[in-house]
Structure 1
Amino acid sequence: MQNQLLKEANEFQEKLSAWRRALHQIPEIGLHLPKTVAFVKKELEQMDIPYTVYEESSCIVALIGSGEKCFMLRSDMDALPVREESGEPFASENGCMHACGHDMHTTTLLGAAKLLKSHERELRGTVKLLFQSAEETFQGAKAAVDAGVLENPRVDAAFAMHVAPNSENKKIIYGEYPMTSVYGFRILLTGKGTHGSAPELGIDPINAGVHLYLALQELIAREISAMEEAVLTIGRFESGSAFNVIPHRAVLEGSLRTFKSEVRDYIICRIKEVAKGVAATYRCEVELEVLNDVPAVKCDVKLNEEIIQSVRELDSELKAYPTFHVMGSEDFSYFGEKIPTSYFFIGAGVDNQDEWVGHHNPHAKFNETCLPTAAAIYAKAAMDWLENHG
C-alpha cells in the first residue's frame, strides 16, 4: 500500500528525472556553485517558495509553512573533480562529475519542496530546506552552521539521506552510528636535494617518506585492537620531478577514520610522534598540517525510529534495515553536534547489477526511479515530525 505523498511524487517522475539530468550536466565543486545555485533558485521561484542564498558558501535555505517548531531537510549539491566515464547520454563534460549522487540529493529536496508546498496548509510548523555546498571537502556544513542556518527560525531536528549506487533500489539502511569521523592531515618532509649519482651528499625525503608510510600502517596493525574500528589511508605521496635527482621535499597526505573519540585521539597523537621519529631517523625536517577534522555522524535513536515509522507508512514494500555503519564520513555531523539528527542511505542501484560500482567512481550510475520515493520520504518525515511535535 502506498501513501498519498508517494503517489503524488510518482506523478512527477519525469520532472524529477529532468531536474536530475540538468544538474548532472553542470557539476561544480567546493564552496562556490553558481550554476547549481541559479538552477535551484529558479525552481524554488517557480514553486513560489521563499529562500535565502548565503553567497559566501553557496548554501540556499528555503522555508515552507510557519509555526514554532522547525524541522530541517538537507541535501548537498557539490560534485567531484572526476572526469565522467559513465556512458550516460547526459554525462558531464567539464571535467567534474556527480560521482557521489549529489545531483540526486538536490533533486530529492526539490521534489520534497514541491510536495510540501502543495500540502503547506497541513504543516504544523516550519520545514526548512537546506541546499548545501562543499560536503566533499567537509567545508559546507560548518560554513552553514557558522552562517546561522540553524536559526531564524531555530531548527529543532534535521534529516538527510544519501543515495547508494551499489545497493538494491529503494532499500533503506539506518543506524545510531552510521559514519565515522575524519581527520585529514598533510606531512611535509624536507631533506636536501642532490644529484642522483651522489646520494651521500643529500638527504633523501623519499626514503624517509617510504619508511613513514609503512610505520603509519603499523599503527593500525599493531597498536589498535582488532575489536576497534579505524582506517588510516595515505592517499597522496608526491616527491621529485626528475629520474636522476634526489628531491628536496616529499609530501604525504592522508585521512584517519574512527567512531570512538578516544581511538581517534590516540592515533592522532601517534601519527605526530611517528612522523617526528621517522623524520629524525632519516635526518629530515618534518611539518604536520591538519586538512580537516570532522566529527562522526551520530544519529538520535528516537528520531531514527520516528522517521522509519514514516517510511513504513509511506510504502509497505520498502525495505528498511538497522545496518548503516560504514567507514565513510559526512559533514552532516556538524548539525548533529547542535540538534537531534537522522541520516539514512537509500539504494539507487541500476537494474543491471553488473554496472554497480561504489561512490566516487567515474563509471557510477544511479537509478532515477528512487527519486519519487526519496522525495516522498523527505516530505512525510517532515510532516509527521511536525505533527508529532508541533
Structure 2
Amino acid sequence: MTNPHDEKLIGEMKEQVITWRRHFHEYPELSFEEVSTSQFVYDTLQSFGGLEVSRPTKTSVVARLKGKYPGRTLGLRADMDALPIQEENDADFRSTVDGVMHACGHDGHTAMLLGAAKILSGQKDELSGDIKFIFQHAEELPPGGAQELVRAGVMDDVDLIVGLHLASTLPRGKFGIGYGPVTSNSDTFDLKIIGKGGHSSQPENSIDPIVMGAQVINNLQHIVSRNTSPSEKLVVSTTTLKAGIAKNVIPGHVEIGGSVRSFDKEVRENAVQLIERIARGITGAHGGDYELDYHYGYSSVINDESLTKTVEETIVEQFGENWLQKTGSIMGGEDFSAYLTEAPGCFIPVGAGNVEKDIVYPHHHPKFSVDEDALEDGLRLLISLSKKILTKDSQKTLLTKA
C-alpha cells in the first residue's frame, strides 16, 4: 500500500481532481482546437512549481519533473480533446458548448494527470530519474496528436511510457490488464465507383454505378468470411454510401466509405489488396472504373510484457488481487501506439462504470459518464507506479529504451 503520507495527499487531492474534471467537461474543445484547455493545464502546472513546462505544439503541454537521483525517464500521458457529440446528460457541469462533449473520459484523464503532477512535484527527492507529464491534444482525430508530439521530439529521451483510460464498460473497482496487442490497427477507406449516368428509362445507355456499388459492398463481406483465416481478427465495415439525387436519373458515380480493423500486419495489408481487387474486378466487368483512397490510421497498441507485469504487480500491491481483470484485445483504435514506436509502454483501462449510478453508457454515447470515484483510483495508480518504476532497485529490472 502507499505510505500514510501519500494516502493523505491523494485523499486531499481527490476533490480537486474532480473539480478539474468537471471544469474540462463543462468547457470541451475538439481535436486540434484545445486552446483554452491547454492554457488551463499550462497555467495550473506552472502554479505547482518545480516543473519545466513547455508547449511542443499549439494545443499540447509537457511538464518535466527532475528527480534528485539519476535514472530513467518515465512518460505519463493524458489526452485532452472532446468529441462532436451533443450531450444528453443533465449534470450541473454538462457541456456548455453546443454539439461538443467529453464522451470518452479525456476530461478525467487530464484531471488525474494534473493531480499526479501536483503530488509528485513535491516529492522529487524520492525519485531516481525524471517524469514527463504529457498532456496530448487530438487523440480522436487521425493522424492524431501523439504522432505530432513524437515528431516534435517529446519521446526522444523517454524510456518507458504509461497511459490510463477511464472505461465505462469496466466496473469501478477494476483495472484492465492486457499483454501484447490491446487495441487494433484502425484504418478507413473511400471508394469511388465510376460509371456512366443517364435516364432511368434507358439503363442500356448507362453504366450503372449503383448496381456495381451494391456488388462491391456485398463482396467486401467476403474479405473476412472467405479470404481471412478464422484464427485472425479482422473487421471490414461499410459505413457510408452516397449515390444519386433524383429517382429518374442513374448517377455517374457512387461513393462508398468504410472502416478496417485488424491486428496482424499481413492481415492489414491483405485487406487493402482485397478491397482494390474487388473494386477493380467488378467495375471492370461492367465497363466502369474506380478510385480507392485508403487511409492508414492508428496502429495497434502493444503492451510491453515487462512493464505490464510491473503495472500488474503495482495494482495487486496497492489495491488487491480482486482489482485485476485480465482483458483481451479490442477492435477500437488508440493513437497511444505512436509513442510505442519510440519506447516500451503500457495502456491501462481504469474501471469507471457503475450500474447503481446508471453509469452504463458506452464511450462516444451522448449519455456517456464516469464514476468520479475512479479518478482517485487512477491517481493512486499513477503515484504508486511512478515511484515503483523510479527507484534505484527498479533501474536494474525494467527494460531499457528500445
Deviations 1:104-148 (A, max 9, x none): 111111111112112122111100011111211232111111111
Deviations 1:144-169 (A, max 9, x none): 11111112xx0001001111112210
**Match runs of 1:287-366 below 5 Å:** 287-316=291-320, 319-352=323-356, 354-366=358-370
- CA 1:84–1:201 in 2, change beyond 3 Å: closer, same or farther? farther
1:12 maps to: 13
2:206 maps to: 202
1:7 offset after TM fit, Å? Answer: 4.1
- CA 1:84–1:243 in 2, change beyond 3 Å: closer, same or farther? farther
CA distance in 2, matches of 1:285, 1:120: 63
1:10 offset after TM fit, Å? Answer: 2.4
1:282 offset after TM fit, Å? Answer: 3.6
Secondary structure of 1:125's aligned partner: strand
Deviations 1:255-282 (A, max 9, x none): 2111211222222211111121222234
CA distance in 1, matches of 2:323, 2:178: 14
**Which 5+ residue runs of structure 2 have no aligned equivalent?**
397-402
1:55 aligns with 2:60: no
1:97 offset after TM fit, Å? Answer: 1.3
1:205 offset after TM fit, Å? Answer: 2.5
CA distance in 2, matches of 1:97, 1:231: 28
Read off the aligned partner of 1:297 and give its amino acid letter.
Answer: V
2:33 maps to: 32
Secondary structure of 2:170's aligned partner: coil
The 8 Å contact of residues 279 and 286 in structure 1, kept in 2 or not, is answered as: yes
2:78 maps to: 75
1:113 maps to: 117
CA distance in 2, matches of 1:198, 1:90: 59
Deviations 1:261-307 (A, max 9, x none): 12222222111111212222343321111223322111111110112
CA distance in 1, matches of 2:205, 2:356: 59
CA distance in 2, matches of 1:326, 1:207: 34
The 8 Å contact of residues 220 and 278 in structure 2, kept in 1 or not, is answered as: yes
1:366 offset after TM fit, Å? Answer: 0.9
CA distance in 1, matches of 2:244, 2:229: 37
CA distance in 2, matches of 1:253, 1:205: 15
Q: Which of residues 166, 171, 177 in structure 2 aligns to 1:168?
A: 171
1:245 offset after TM fit, Å? Answer: 3.4
Read off the aligned partner of 1:338 and give its amino acid letter.
Answer: E
Q: Which of residues 242, 249, 258 in structure 2 aligns to 1:238?
A: 242
CA distance in 2, matches of 1:203, 1:89: 57
Q: Which of residues 268, 274, 278 in structure 1 aligns to 2:278?
A: 274
CA distance in 1, matches of 2:115, 2:279: 49
The 8 Å contact of residues 179 and 326 in structure 1, kept in 2 or not, is answered as: yes
> Matched residue pairs, number?
387
CA distance in 1, matches of 2:359, 2:163: 26
1:356 offset after TM fit, Å? Answer: 0.6
Deviations 1:218-259 (A, max 9, x none): 211111122221111222222333444333332222221112
1:47 offset after TM fit, Å? Answer: 1.3
Deviations 1:86-115 (A, max 9, x none): 233322132111111111111111111112
The 8 Å contact of residues 314 and 385 in structure 2, kept in 1 or not, is answered as: yes
Read off the aligned partner of 1:50 and give its amino acid letter.
Answer: E
**Match runs of 1:252-267 below 5 Å:** 252-267=256-271
- CA 1:35–1:284 in 2, change beyond 3 Å: closer, same or farther? farther
The 8 Å contact of residues 79 and 137 in structure 2, kept in 1 or not, is answered as: yes
Secondary structure of 2:125's aligned partner: helix
CA distance in 2, matches of 1:285, 1:6: 66
Secondary structure of 1:304's aligned partner: helix
Q: Which of residues 113, 121, 127 in structure 2 aligns to 1:123?
A: 127
Higher relative contact order (CA 8 A, sep 6+): 1
Read off the aligned partner of 1:370 and give its amino acid letter.
Answer: A
The 8 Å contact of residues 60 and 136 in structure 2, kept in 1 or not, is answered as: yes
- CA 1:7–1:238 in 2, change beyond 3 Å: closer, same or farther? farther
Q: Which of residues 356, 363, 372 in structure 1 aligns to 2:376?
A: 372
Bigger mean CA deviation after superposition, 192-201 or 47-56? 192-201
CA distance in 2, matches of 1:3, 1:316: 15
1:155 maps to: 158
Read off the aligned partner of 2:56 and give its amino acid letter.
Answer: Y
The 8 Å contact of residues 57 and 149 in structure 2, kept in 1 or not, is answered as: no
The 8 Å contact of residues 206 and 250 in structure 2, kept in 1 or not, is answered as: yes
Secondary structure of 2:207's aligned partner: coil
CA distance in 2, matches of 1:86, 1:277: 48
1:325 offset after TM fit, Å? Answer: 1.7
CA distance in 1, matches of 2:219, 2:131: 49
**Which 5+ residue runs of structure 1 have no aligned equivalent?**
none
The 8 Å contact of residues 9 and 373 in structure 1, kept in 2 or not, is answered as: no
